[in-house]
Chain A
Amino acid sequence: MKDMVLKDSALIDVRSVSKEYDTSDGPVLAVKPTSLRLMEGEFVSIVGPSGCGKTTLLKMMGGLIPITSGEIMLRETTVKGPSDDIGFVFQGSVLLPWKSSQENVLLPIRVARRTTKEDIQRARELLHLVGLENFEHRYPFELSGGMQQRVSICRALIQDPSCLLMDEPFGALDALTRENMNVFFNGLWRQTGKTVALVTHSIQEAVFLSNRVIVMSQRPGTVLDEIEIPFPAERTPDLIGTKEFGELTSRIRKYFSAAHLD
Chain B
Amino acid sequence: MRKPLSHVPAVLFLIAFAIFWEYGPGYFKIPDYILPPLSSIVRIYGDPSTLSVYWTNTLVTLHEAVLGLVIGSGLGFLVGVVLTESRVLMNMMYPYIIALQCMPKIAIAPLLLVWFGFGLTSKVVIVSLLCFFPVLVNTISGIRSVSADHYELFYAIRASRLKRLYHLVIPTALPSIFAGLEVAVVVSLLGAIVGEFVGAELGLGVLLLQAQFQMNIPGVFAILGILALLGVVFNITIRLLRRKSLFWIAGEK
Contacts and interface: CB of A to CB of B under 8 A. Distances in A.
Interface of A: 62, 64, 81-82, 84, 88, 90, 92, 94, 96-98, 107-108, 110-112, 139-141
A45 B11 CA distance: 64
A96 B248 CA distance: 10
A88 B156 contact: yes
A110 B250 contact: no
Overall SS of chain B's interface: helix
B171 A111 contact: no
Contact of A90 (B149, B158, B163): B149
Contact of B248 (A81, A88, A98): A98
B150 A94 contact: yes
A112 B149 CA distance: 20
Interface in B143-176: 149-150, 152-160, 163-164, 167-168, 171
A98 B248 CA distance: 6
B171 A64 contact: no
Q: Which of A81, A98, A108, A141 has the most CB of B within 10 A?
A: A98
B157 A107 contact: yes
Contacts of A110: 163, 167
Contacts of A88: 156
A112 B152 contact: no
B157 A94 contact: no
B156 A111 contact: no
Contacts of A111: 154, 157-160, 163-164, 167
A64 B158 CA distance: 10
B156 A96 contact: no
Contacts of B158: 81-82, 84, 111-112
Nearest to A59: B152
27 contacts: A62-B156, A64-B152, A64-B155, A81-B158, A82-B155, A82-B156, A82-B158, A84-B158, A88-B156, A90-B149, A92-B149, A94-B150, A94-B152, A94-B153, A96-B150, A96-B167, A96-B168, A97-B249, A98-B171, A107-B167, A110-B163, A110-B167, A111-B159, A111-B163, A112-B158, A139-B248, A141-B248
